[in-house]
């Protein structure tokens, strides 16, 4: 699986790279970002945190705004940030170019409905194809943690809940916690998966957490001044599911914080240290 360098920048003794590659799962060219801490070398492999970004984002938002590389360099954790959806000529987009569906809004599902099913297979891409690519080309171990924001927080929680053997821990910022009951989720899931709501349940973190049998330590951060809090994010549904199941979830609400990367940058070190502690176990 060949990769093409787009850019490279030295940071905190390590390297921030961007690459292109041809994805057989998504049937298009994809870009992803990798931060390799100074500990990563041919003599030593490091674990990986996968970061999933939110609506309208690319691989660049997190690597440019979150400030995670400093703490990743200290802890010896690589960071991999994929794009949020397939892109390119021939990849279908929302007819009205809406921000909450289509390009930039893949929702980390495997689409089953035409025309989306030809390219929009982000679940398989993040869970299987991208880690195989990373582990074949970089000095990393098969130890993985996963995190994300908003739509990406939804994706991170779903992937960890459905694949507990693959991730040591999961964290999320402002995740879409109950997509089958919010406008963003309903629009995306109906278009990508069809009208049968039974198929939607496999991509709903609150429902998955309520029936989980194997637990992945989880932490969620949510701002109380987030304009999407009540209508779209619904963290109360996640905490209710965790309480019902006895799931190891820590969810903290923060006065004054919104949905932006200022919020993420404030608490990203806390999340990186949470992951490092669980990797050490």
Q: Please return the burial class of 258, using the count of CB atoms within 10 Å of its CB with bins 0-12, 13-18 and 19+.
A: middle
Q: Is residue 281 included in any domain, yes or no?
A: no
pLDDT at 42: 73
Whether residue 183 is contained in a domain is answered as yes
Alpha-carbon distance 67 to 51, whole Å?
A: 13
Strand, helix or coil for residue 118: helix
Collapsing DSSP to helix, strand or coil, 20 comes out as strand
> Is 24 among the catalytic positions?
no
Q: Which tens digit of pLDDT belongs to each residue from 48-80?
A: 999 999 999 999 999 999 999 999 999 999 999
Q: Does residue 190 or residue 1 have the better pLDDT?
A: 190
Q: What is the pLDDT of residue 254?
A: 98
pLDDT digits (tens, 9 = 90+) for 211-224: 999 999 999 999 99
Does 279 fall in a domain? no
The reported pLDDT for the residue numbered 43 is 81
**Residue 76 CB-density burial (10 A; 0-12 exposed, 13-18 middle, 19+ buried):** middle
CA neighbours closer than 13 Å in the CB half-sphere of residue 248: 14
pLDDT band at 10 (very low <50, low <70, confident <90, very high): very high
| 8 Å CB contact between 47 and 148 | no
Range of the domain at 78: 3-274
Mean pLDDT of the chain: 97
Q: Work out the average pLDDT over 188-217.
A: 98
Residue 280 lies in a domain: no
**Beta carbons of 161 and 177 less than 8 angstroms apart:** no
| Catalytic, out of 149, 154, 259, 275 | 259
pLDDT digits (tens, 9 = 90+) for 81-122: 999 999 999 999 999 999 999 999 999 999 999 999 999 999
Number of CB atoms found within 10 A of residue 129's CB: 19
pLDDT band for position 272 (50/70/90)?
very high
Q: What is the mean predicted confidence (pLDDT) over 198-227?
A: 98
Number of domains in the chain: 1
Cα 27 to Cα 89, 122, 137, 155, 214, distances in angstroms: 11, 11, 20, 20, 33
Residue 236 banded pLDDT, cuts 50, 70, 90 = very high
pLDDT at 190 over 90: yes
DSSP letters for 197-261: HHHHGGG-HHHHHHT-SS---EEEEEETT-TTIIIII-HHHHHHHHHHHT--EEEEEETT--SSH
Going by C-alpha positions, the residue among 259, 177, 258 that lies closest to residue 218 is 177
Can you give the pLDDT at residue 41?
85
Domain membership flag for residue 229:
yes
Listed in sequence order, the residues at least 6 apart from 82 whose beta carbon sits closer than 8 Å to its beta carbon are 30, 32, 50, 52, 59, 125, 126, 130
Stretch 264-278: mean pLDDT: 98
Active site residue 226: yes
CA distances from 4 to 7, 31, 134, 137 (A): 9, 9, 13, 11
What percent of the chain clears pLDDT 90, i.e. is strictly above it? 98
Which of 150, 168, 174, 177 is flagged as catalytic?
150
pLDDT value at 265 more than 90: yes
Q: Are 165 and 214 in contact (CB under 8 A)?
A: yes
Count the residues in the chain.
Answer: 281
Our answer to whether residue 154 is catalytic in this structure is no
Residue 94 domain flag = yes
**pTM for this model (two decimals):** 0.97
The CATH number given to whatever domain includes residue 193 is 3.40.50.1820
């Amino acid at each position: 699986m060949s990769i093409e360098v787009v850019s490279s920048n030295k940071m905190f003794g390590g390297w921030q790279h961007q690459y292109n590659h041809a994805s057989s799962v998504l049937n298009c060219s994809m870009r992803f970002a990798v931060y390799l801490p100074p500990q990563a070398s041919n003599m030593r492999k490091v674990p990986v945190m996968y970061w999933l970004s939110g609506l309208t984002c690319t691989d660049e938002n997190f690597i440019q705004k979150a400030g995670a590389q400093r703490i990743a360099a200290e802890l010896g954790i690589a960071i991999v940030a994929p794009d949020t959806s397939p892109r390119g000529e021939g990849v279908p987009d929302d007819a009205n170019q809406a921000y909450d569906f289509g390009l930039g809004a893949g929702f980390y599902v495997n689409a089953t409905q035409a025309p989306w099913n030809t390219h929009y297979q982000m679940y398989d891409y993040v869970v299987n194809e991208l880690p195989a690519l990373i582990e074949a080309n970089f000095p990393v171990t098969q130890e993985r943690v996963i995190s994300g924001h908003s739509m990406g927080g939804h994706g991170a929680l779903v992937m960890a809940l459905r694949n507990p053997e693959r991730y040591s821990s999961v964290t999320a910022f402002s995740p879409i916690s109950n997509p089958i009951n919010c406008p963003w989720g309903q629009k995306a899931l109906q278009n990508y998966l069809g009208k049968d709501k039974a198929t939607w349940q496999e991509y709903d973190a609150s429902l998955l957490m309520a029936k989980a049998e194997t637990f992945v330590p989880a932490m969620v951060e949510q701002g109380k001044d987030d304009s999407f809090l009540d209508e779209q994010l619904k963290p109360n549904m996640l905490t209710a599911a965790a309480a019902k199941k006895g799931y190891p979830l820590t969810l903290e609400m923060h006065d004054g914080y919104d949905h932006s990367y200022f919020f993420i940058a404030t608490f990203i070190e806390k999340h990186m240290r949470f992951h490092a502690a669980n990797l050490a176990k």
